Amino acid sequence: MSSGLALETEGAQGGRWKRYPAYKDSGVEWLGAVPEGWEVLPLKWLGGFQAGAGFPEAEQGIEDEELPFYKVSDMNLKGNEIFMKVHNNSVSRETATNLRAHILPPETIIFAKVGAALLLNRRRILTTPSCIDNNTMGFTKGSCDLKWLYYWMCGIDLGELANPGAVPAVNESQMQRLYVPVPTLPEQRAIAAFLDRETGRIDALIAKKERQIELLREKRAALISHAVTKGLDPDAPMKDSGVEWLGAVPEGWEVMKLRRICRVQQGLQIAQANRYAEPGPNRFEYITVKSIHADDTLISKEYIEKPPQSVLCASDDILLARTGATGEVFSDQIGVFHNNFFKVIYDRKLVDKNYLIYYLSDITIKKHLIMLAGTTTIPDLNHGDFLDMPFSYPSFGEQKNIVTFLDRETARITNPTNKIRESITKLHEYRTALISAAVTGKIDVRGEET
C-alpha cells in the first residue's frame, strides 16, 4: 500500500491531512510505522476466506431462483459498483448443494482470485446470501467494521501478491498471511465515514468528467456521420440515396454496394495448444479484440508460428469485428487476425483507406451492421450481409478532402478528451492513495467531519 501521494496532496478543505501524534514500528517491512494504539494482526484473525465453485453452463441463465450466483464478470455490471445488487444467474439451495457451492452470507467481500480480472483489483460486497464462481474468493468478516475492512482490502494490490506465471492467481493461504493494521472499532468507523465522504466527492468529479468525454464522443460521431453521408458542402444539391436509413446524399455521389469496392477475408481461430507465449522466428502476434483493447500490463501477448498468409494483416490493412464487438473498426495492426475479424481488402484505386475507416466507423453504419449480425447471444455478421451494405461513394479527390477535414476536426476533439482522461487517471490515483493513507494510519482522519 503506497500512501505518499495522499500525504503530498492537499485535503478537501485546502489543508494537508494531519498525522497521528505518535507512531510505532509495525514489525512488517512493507507496512512501516503505524499509529500507537493500533494492533497489527494477520488477516485470518479478522474473518474467514471461501473460494467459489465451478458453475456449469447448463445451470446458467436462470434469474428467478433464491440465490444469486455471481460470476467474476458480474462485478462490472451497472449497479454493482460497491454492493452486489444485480445478477444474471441464480440457483436453488438444492442446486448449490449439488454444485458444492458454498452459500456466502451478506457482507462478504468478494474479489477475483485468478486471471486478468485479479489485476483490476476490484472488491465488492454481497447484500444477500449468494454463491460465487471459481474465479472468485470471498472474505466474511468477524467483529470489525465492514466498510473499514472493505477499504483496507481495496488498498491491496493483488498483482504484487499473485503467484508468478502466465496466469496470475492468489490462494487462501497467501491472503490469510497478510498483516492488517487494526485501529479501535470507533476509529474504524471514523475512517470508513471519512472515506465514504471523500471518495464520494472524488467519484462525483470523475463522473462529471466522464460525462464530458461522452458529450465529446457524441460530437465526434455526429461530425463523422455528417461528413461521410452528406459531404462538406452545405449548399450541395442532394438526392435520395434509395436507402431509408441512409437518407439523402450529395447529388454527385454514387450509392453502391460495398462489394463493388472491397472483398473480405475472415480470420482464423487458433487452438490454445498452437499459441506461443514468446515471440520467435516465423512467429506473429495473435490479434484479437481483447488484445487490441487491453492494457499491456493486464494481458499476455500470444504468438502464432508459420500462419497462412491469408490471415496475416499489415499496418495498412483494415480489420472489422464481425462478432463479439461487431462493427468495431481497427487499423495499424500487425500479426495474425482472429476468426472474429474480417480483413477488408479494398480497391485502393477507388477508395481512400481513411475515408473507408471513417465510413465504417459512422455510428449509423455500425448500428446497421449490428442489426444485420442478429440479436442472438453472440451476434455474427456474415460475408454477404456486409458486402451488400450500401456505400456512399464520392470522387477520390472528395474522399481525400473529407479525410483531411475529419483528421483536423476530430483532433480538436481528441486532444481535450485525452486531457480529461489524464485528469481522471490522476483522480483515480489520488483516490487509491487516500484510501491507503487512511487505512494504514499515515493520516489521522478523526474529527474530519466535513
Are 168 and 288 found together in one domain? no
Residues in CB range of 410: below 8 A, 6 or more apart? 220, 223, 224
Q: pLDDT-based confidence at 6, cuts 50/70/90?
A: very low
Q: pLDDT-based confidence at 450, cuts 50/70/90?
A: low
Identify whether 169 is part of a domain. yes
- Contact yes or no for 3/152 (Cβ under 8 A): no
Q: pLDDT-based confidence at 449, cuts 50/70/90?
A: low
Who wins on pLDDT, 210 or 448? 210
Are 237 and 377 found together in one domain? yes
What was the pLDDT predicted at 378?
Answer: 72
Question: Quick one: 195 exposed, middle or buried, by C-beta within 10 A (0-12, 13-18, 19+)?
Answer: buried
Cell output for 28: 512488517
d(C-alpha 37, C-alpha 188), whole Å: 13
Are 157 and 259 found together in one domain? no
Of the residues 370, 393, 416, which one is the last residue of a structural domain? 393
Are 343 and 275 found together in one domain? yes
Residue 119 has pLDDT above 60, yes or no: yes
pLDDT tens-digit map of 351-363: 999 999 999 999 9
Are 262 and 358 found together in one domain? yes
Mean pLDDT across the stretch 85-105? 95
Are 149 and 246 found together in one domain? no
Of the residues 147, 182, 217, which one is the last residue of a structural domain? 182
Number of domains in the chain: 2
d(C-alpha 443, C-alpha 132), whole Å: 35
pLDDT tens-digit map of 403-436: 999 999 999 999 999 999 999 999 999 999 999 9
What was the pLDDT predicted at 7?
Answer: 43
Identify whether 432 is part of a domain. no
- Contact yes or no for 74/80 (Cβ under 8 A): yes
Domain that holds residue 363: 232-393
Q: Per DSSP, what are the bridge partners of residue 287?
A: 337
Identify whether 370 is part of a domain. yes
Instruction: Look at strands 83-84 and 123-126 and give their pairing.
Output: parallel
CATH code, domain with 84: 3.90.220.20
Are 169 and 315 found together in one domain? no
Identify whether 29 is part of a domain. no
Identify whether 200 is part of a domain. no
Identify whether 190 is part of a domain. no
Mean pLDDT across the stretch 93-117? 95
Identify whether 30 is part of a domain. no
Are 380 and 298 found together in one domain? yes
Are 237 and 366 found together in one domain? yes
Q: How far is CA 209 from CA 324, 397, 414, in A?
A: 28, 39, 14
Q: How far is CA 257 from CA 228, 367, 372, 384, 391, in A?
A: 15, 17, 15, 11, 6
Of the residues 116, 151, 182, which one is the last residue of a structural domain? 182
Are 160 and 250 found together in one domain? no
Identify whether 85 is part of a domain. yes
Are 236 and 372 found together in one domain? yes
Are 253 and 162 found together in one domain? no
